[in-house]
Structure 1
């Protein structure tokens, strides 16, 4: 019985892990606020469902605010649709199938793309007796630059990589010297042992006492 239990525990654990990995996990995150001139950019808008077993009708409205003027640029209502705006032709729907990630992509960033972007998520939940709704708004203030800003995390990681390489190189040299000295010492000990052995007179040595008699 114990053997059967011990065999089943790993299998059950593996099954639970596989089920957990197969379920999509939604994590709220902020969008990048810097774009590089001429490069593509993703405006991240994530609105996680607290309970994935509840059905909800989801609609998304993207707008662009510049100089106090709000311009509708994109919407998702039973499917993505690009609206008439100065950004038309450069917008791409980057959302997920479960409509928890509602992000929008912009290709070929220009200086005029700087400004405030607004992602409004409207959800209408379906219950038996009532249909509550919720509206969530995400604000992204985008700044367009000629070159990407230096990422402190990337710089720190690069410095640590070089430090690690130098440390490993020095450690390897120390190990090589240690092994060389150890081998040399072993050779010297072996040579001394052979010399001492040859220096000891043998009982059958003709030059010994027996031979002199």
Structure 2
């Protein structure tokens, strides 16, 4: 599971506690034939203020000059607005009026899905004096590839993991050799001590007057 997906999942688990909101950039590389989560988060600056928001997604291919409206969410309704994305877009954002996560999941990604996606929040803040309208826009440059590219950090992490495994194994071998040598030295010392004690006992038990004849 990617970092972005984890944070979205965590935020969805705590939609009523806005302190869990964190603005994280979306991933930008999708694999053809697989699903992809288009991320878009807009956190409120004042958590104590109630609000209502809608989310719109627009899409523009590299050869296009204008964006096309493809998705609209206004709780509880999620509407796919373009036939190219029919039955392929699924809402993965906040499930109440106060939307802060505007993520959508794209099923069965194709190479034609490469391009620029624009996420637009239209939020109404219900302030004490009068409501305030705020518009937030974010863009995601999506590239669709045939196979997933391994990130450099992942490769480095894997190399470090293997190095640590080898180092730990060598350290374990050295510890075993050291312990074995220590046990053997202690065994040799005990045997030598026993031999000295046995020799001493033999000398003490021998009568010094043996062999001396009385006159």
Q: If the TM-score is normalised by the length of the shorter chain, which range does it land in?
A: 0.7 to 0.9
Distance 2:106 2:129 in 1: 41
- The residue aligned with 2:42 is 47
Distance 1:85 1:46 in 2: 25
- Alpha carbons 1:45, 1:103 under 8 Å: kept: yes
- Alpha carbons 2:31, 2:148 under 8 Å: kept: yes
> Which ranges in structure 1 are unaligned for 5 or more consecutive residues?
1-21
1:58-137 map, 5 Å = 58-66=53-61, 67-79=64-76, 80-97=78-95, 98-137=98-137
Deviation at 1:76, TM superposition (A): 1.1
- The residue aligned with 2:209 is 210
- The residue aligned with 1:29 is 24
Distance 1:156 1:203 in 2: 71
- The residue aligned with 1:3 is none
Deviation >3 Å, runs of 4+: 201-204, 210-213
3-state DSSP of counterpart to 1:212: coil
TM-score (normalizing by structure 1): 0.84
Distance 1:166 1:78 in 2: 54
Comparing 55-64 and 196-205, the one that deviates more: 196-205
3-state DSSP of counterpart to 1:29: coil
Aligned length: 190
1:150-189 map, 5 Å = 150-189=150-189
- Alpha carbons 1:36, 1:147 under 8 Å: kept: yes
Deviation at 1:194, TM superposition (A): 1.0
> Which ranges in structure 2 are unaligned for 5 or more consecutive residues?
1-15
TM-score (normalizing by structure 2): 0.83
Aligned CA RMSD, in angstroms, stands at 1.6
